[in-house]
Structure 1
Amino acid sequence: MKKITTILLGSILLLGAVACQDVSKTSSDSPDSLEETTEAPTQDTVEDSREDAQSEVRRDQLNADIRANEERNNAFNDGQENRSDDSVETEVRSKLEANIPKSQLSVESEEGTVTVAGTVPDEQDIEKIEPLAMEIKGVKRVVNQATYAPPTQEQQDQ
């Protein structure tokens, strides 16, 4: 009985910690908040993000995530655009991760206004953010705080 209680308590704590994350991120190196100062990513970080986002399995996963959210919205919300902020965040994050694979972006949504912050390694990617986000049902406005930051070479210890 103690083992089951311990497992249940641990699961609840883990779920609570994950649920408290305020922003959705396109990569593990994305800023944890929209206010966090963004630094230029290293070339290795950009390459890892690109490889992850462009892998066939990950793209299928992202597309399935978007499709599942849309189906859930259609089934339980009659397809209306007034969706939960978490659903909008998740779909926008998936859309950006799939279409701007080298990015390190954080996404936050509040009442239809989506704020995107972080870095992209190509200047033209900044212009892609708003149109991609607007494709998601429930997005009324996009605040694009993303910045261009070309990848830097990692400094080696000598």
Structure 2
Amino acid sequence: MCWSDQTVHFTFPKGSSNGLSHKDLGEVTLEDANGGKYQGLRTHYKWTPGLVVRDWRYVVRIASIDPKNIGSNSLRHALIEGLNMIPNTNMGRTAIYCNQTVKTLLDIEASDKSNVMLKTENWEGKPVTTFWGCPVRRVDSILNTEAAISA
């Protein structure tokens, strides 16, 4: 996905504080696992973002990845094909989103110092796996159990 004002971006309701609101519910008595009581503060948060897809070509989905049969070459080839489907990765900040299984495979590949496509870089003091300079992000809502897409 390539993020920018001209491709894909988030938006928030006009006049809101980035779509985030909160309501202070005050001090309440809470109970721990052992039955002990203590005072706590409760707050209700609500976030109402919107997603704007100005140009659908800047969002690419690589589907039907079988984690049992995935070889490092086939995954890298799929990532190359996906990135090359984006018309211009210089239009914004490009990132790769995947589940824990795929992220783990990419992290293992990045630990191989001879691999020039996948690297572990240090961003703001934290290790980040990148593929051709694009950060790889883990999203737990992407599942391995989704139905395969047939042609």
TM over 0.5: no
Q: Shorter-normalised TM-score: what interval?
A: under 0.3
Q: Which is higher, the Rg of structure 1 or of structure 2?
A: 2
Q: Comparing both structures, which one devotes a greater share of its residues to helix? A: 1
What TM-score do you get using the length of structure 2 for normalisation? 0.25
Per the normalisation by structure 1, the TM-score is: 0.24
More strand by share: 2
Higher relative contact order (CA 8 A, sep 6+): 1
